[in-house]
Structure 1
Amino acid sequence: MTTPSSALIEPQDLARLLAEAPDNLVLVDATYGVMNPVYAQARIGNAVFFDIDDVADHDNPLPHMVPRADAFAAAVTAMGIRNDSQIVVYDQSGIAMAAARVWWMFRLYGHDNVRVLNGGLPLWVAMGLPMNVSPAPTPTAATTPFRATYRPHLVCDHAAVDDAHTRPDEYLILDARSPDRFAGSVAEPRPHLTSGHIPNSRNVFFMDMIDPGTARLIPHHPAMAEMIRAGAGKRIITSCGSGVTACVLALALHEMGRDDVAVYDGSWCEWGQKSLNSAISVG
């Protein structure tokens, strides 16, 4: 099985791939956080639906934390996904909510043959490419169970980040939230959280990485190129509000050659809890 060098696939390339109809192709709709999800009415090909709130650690009070390897494997096996599947993930917003997160989850559990549809459903529709408007299918479970191989270097917990922020010569922490949230000049959308940012972290707003006209990831964005330089010889950790848009930064960095970026899964939902007394900077 050949692993793609890029984690992105363009709509016209996916259309050609669908026409070839390889039996190991699985499309995944990873739409999250939108008011009117369209999956039940329309989808690309025979896409299955991946809900990051469902495929999650339900024993953890934090939102959509990654599940254990066995739970992840069981969930994706039920979707018809095998270890030899070539997976294309898309979402209704483009790539951020939450195609990039699902891409990262597959990589976290050892599956590299996974790509994100660049521009997602909005660009697919804008290009006039076909939609499947038949009733949403009931997934057929894979006959061979998916085997998840955990890659711990691709994820961080609170303890690891608490150590990393004190060692800026060894770690670069990037925060994908908006500049005003990073600065602590506005209240967090979740009212129980403190405002501010992890000390020694740097702000790269995830929306700046996305072309507003096409919803595509902007290749080699100058801000990300600067982070590549700043992170040379260091471990890079990305964070955000709840571990979703941090994966957009991980995806952008992957496209620029850094495939070893760790995502802080709990992100600000964990770090900003007043009860944890985490170190917090403002400004």
Structure 2
Amino acid sequence: MQEEKSPFVVDSDWLQERLGDSDLRVVDAAWYLPAHKRDPQAEYAAGHIPGAVFLDHDAISDATSGLPHTLASPDVFAASVGALGISEKNIIVVYDGPGFFSAPRAWWMFRVMGARDVYVLDGGLDGWKSEGRAVTTDVTAVLPAVFVPTFDETAVTSFHAMSSIVEKGSRQIADARSLGRFTGEEAEPRAGMRSGHMPGARSLPAGGFAADGRFKSLPELRKLVADAGIDLDKPVVTSCGSGITAAIITLALQSLGHTDNTLYDGSWSEWGSRAETAIATGKP
């Protein structure tokens, strides 16, 4: 029996068959932490999936927020992806290097801004290459498009809303950072920032959702979420270090049919840097 898989994830066969289709847009959405020692733009230039354009998470963010790669305004996002030749009506496939690190963030952004046919490539570029599939160094010819945004502001949690959630326990909080950062036993990668977690949060490390770059089956995702103490019948807010890997949990939740979820865009970069915020340590 074939495993139940996320409806938002496509495999390399699916993409290979559709490369060159007029309504398909392929997006290299790779972004890495300094510890990864990978340069996404250099990797894109060295070889990308034919027809792919590069989406720079930092360049497309809200530069006025003071936080890393905060979600841009709808107009800025629309102008940026329109310049890449992407319309909200296109079929959009996003990928990163390992498969499920930064690509789900791009998937989430496109959907929050109104695109509906958005998918993540299983296995990422690393998997694509390991299968011997073609990559190119050719510059992708782009015909600018108009992206008409329909922003779903209910999908994004602000600091003010997050403070209320923590105080009242009105939503479950799923934290995608490593267990060590969650418990406070590991230092945060950003110098001087406190480690630990928001009171009431549950640990759901982003690295647990995929194996060998492949997104886990729906039964596996359901068990992962349940084992973390998250009830799929109740609302959830996802968080991480800076809003990138929280989207991996969001992808898993929505794959399981959970719709009452939001993403705390400031995440720990915001919460952990403020002196007035409550922080818990140890396992919940």
TM-score higher than 0.5: yes
After TM superposition, the structure 1 stretch with the greater mean CA deviation from structure 2, 173-182 or 124-133, is 124-133
* Within-5 A mapping of 1:223-234: 223-226=224-227, 230-234=230-234
Contact 1:192 1:274 in 2 (8 A): no
Equivalent residue number for residue 113 of structure 1: 117
Question: Which runs of no fewer than 5 residues in structure 2 stay unpaired?
Answer: 1-5
SS in 2 for 1:103: helix
Q: Is 1:86 aligned to residue 84 of structure 2?
A: no
Partner amino acid, structure 2, of 1:26: R
Q: Is 1:172 aligned to residue 176 of structure 2?
A: no
Deviation at 1:133, TM superposition (A): 3.1
Distance in 1, Cα, partners of 2:10 & 2:116? 14
Equivalent residue number for residue 38 of structure 2: 35
* Within-5 A mapping of 1:59-74: 59-74=64-79
Question: Which runs of no fewer than 5 residues in structure 1 stay unpaired?
Answer: none
Equivalent residue number for residue 217 of structure 2: 219
Partner amino acid, structure 1, of 2:107: W
Distance in 1, Cα, partners of 2:259 & 2:227? 16
Deviation at 1:234, TM superposition (A): 2.2
* Within-5 A mapping of 1:1-283: 6-18=7-19, 21-33=20-32, 35-37=38-40, 38-96=43-101, 98-134=102-138, 136-137=139-140, 139-142=142-145, 145-168=146-169, 170-211=170-211, 213=212, 215-220=213-218, 221=220, 222-226=223-227, 230-275=230-275, 277-283=276-282
Deviation at 1:127, TM superposition (A): 1.3
Q: Give the TM-score taking structure 1 as reference length.
A: 0.90
After TM superposition, the structure 1 stretch with the greater mean CA deviation from structure 2, 119-128 or 28-37, is 28-37
CA offset digits 1:182-225 (Å, max 9, x no partner)? 001122111231111000000011101110x3x01112332224
Distance in 2, Cα, partners of 1:261 & 1:118? 23
Contact 2:98 2:127 in 1 (8 A): no
Partner amino acid, structure 2, of 1:279: A
CA offset digits 1:16-64 (Å, max 9, x no partner)? 122xx32110000001125243111211121010011011101111000
CA offset digits 1:57-108 (Å, max 9, x no partner)? 0111100000111001100110101122100000112121x11100000111
SS in 2 for 1:153: helix
Distance in 1, Cα, partners of 2:274 & 2:230? 31
Deviation at 1:226, TM superposition (A): 4.2
**Amino-acid identity (%):** 37
Partner amino acid, structure 1, of 2:77: F
SS in 2 for 1:230: coil
CA offset digits 1:228-273 (Å, max 9, x no partner)? x833442211100000010111111111111342111010000001
Partner amino acid, structure 2, of 1:109: M
Distance in 2, Cα, partners of 1:64 & 1:235? 25
After TM superposition, the structure 1 stretch with the greater mean CA deviation from structure 2, 196-205 or 180-189, is 180-189
Contact 1:45 1:131 in 2 (8 A): yes
